[in-house]
Amino acid sequence: MTMTTPILEVRNLRKHYPRVKAVDGVDFAVRQGICFGLLGPNGAGKTTTIEMMEGIIKPTSGDILYKGEPQGARFRNEAGIQFQSTSLQDFLTVRENLQFFSSLYPAGLPLEELIDICRLREYLDRDASKLSGGQRQRMLLALALVNDPDVVFLDEPTTGLDPQARLNFWELVNSIKARNKTVLLTTHYMEEAYNLCDEIAIMDHGKIIAHGSPDDLLATHFQDVIIELPQRDFPEAAKDSIPHRHLDKVTGTVEIITQDVNATLAQLMQHGASLAGLQVRPRTLEDLFLELTGKELRA
């Protein structure tokens, strides 16, 4: 593989079913050593795309290249997959699970190194069924890394984890990337995508509708910010002079879109608004996702 050859490349990838075009002509390339995020609402074709890249289902047409060549035995030996749900022998300990999966490969990471990477030493003699959510995800990550893969697929790895366990898992992903491994990530958490991914591709209706680094995509699509104000502090008289606003009924917050914060604040103060609870935030990937798809990511 030359320096310019991507580790993974998808060309005009399609998966059609009798009444559904699940994936409809997708093209993208993944560089070595980055975290690449594939995002999309349910039904967008994201999972189907990933499963074709993993070799689980066959495409209707198109090509998937690994290190410049069609997928084959080399890809299967050099790829690791952490599925969203994996069945394990619950009567086995963490150590025994690692030993069993390690025995399936002719070579891989030394188990002691794997245990340290995924911070499992404290739980080695615990039954897999007795692990917490975060501990179980760390063990599943270790199983995905047991063959020392060059590319690792992580399918919504932090779903259901508490915030602290999620942050711990992010550290593990960054440590894997620091070893020049390539990570393909699917996630429903925009903050996770922003913090982990060097590049993201957003899918909808079976097509890629945006692709680039998170910061570049935000800079391309937005030149404004959001002012957030509790609904109780937003004066009725300001409605006509501040039209670009949205009420978040869940939080009871008025969100004002503006390119001129000072002018908007002056208008609010002119109408007697209390600014005690006001916050100004930049646009986020959540905003971008809504802008491009019209949907919440978890829709």
CATH code where residue 38 lies: 3.40.50.300
88 shares a domain with 136: yes
Note the pLDDT tens digit of each residue in 114-152: 999 888 999 899 998 888 888 888 888 999 999 999 999
CA separation for the pair 129, 122 (Å, rounded): 15
If one counts the domains in the chain, the total is: 2
pLDDT band at 295 (very low <50, low <70, confident <90, very high): low
113 shares a domain with 163: yes
82 shares a domain with 52: yes
205 shares a domain with 244: no
Angle of helix 133-145 versus helix 94-102 axis, rounded to 10: 20
Higher pLDDT, 17 or 239: 17
Is the pLDDT score of 2 beyond 90?
no
CA separation for the pair 58, 235 (Å, rounded): 57
Output the furthest CA–CA distance in the chain (Å, rounded): 73
User: Coil, strand or helix: which one is 269?
Assistant: helix
113 shares a domain with 94: yes
105 shares a domain with 121: yes
CA separation for the pair 250, 279 (Å, rounded): 17
240 shares a domain with 140: no
Structural domain boundaries, residue 156: 8-219
CA separation for the pair 47, 59 (Å, rounded): 13
User: Among 139-153, 201-215, 235-249, 255-269, whose mean pLDDT is lowest?
Assistant: 235-249
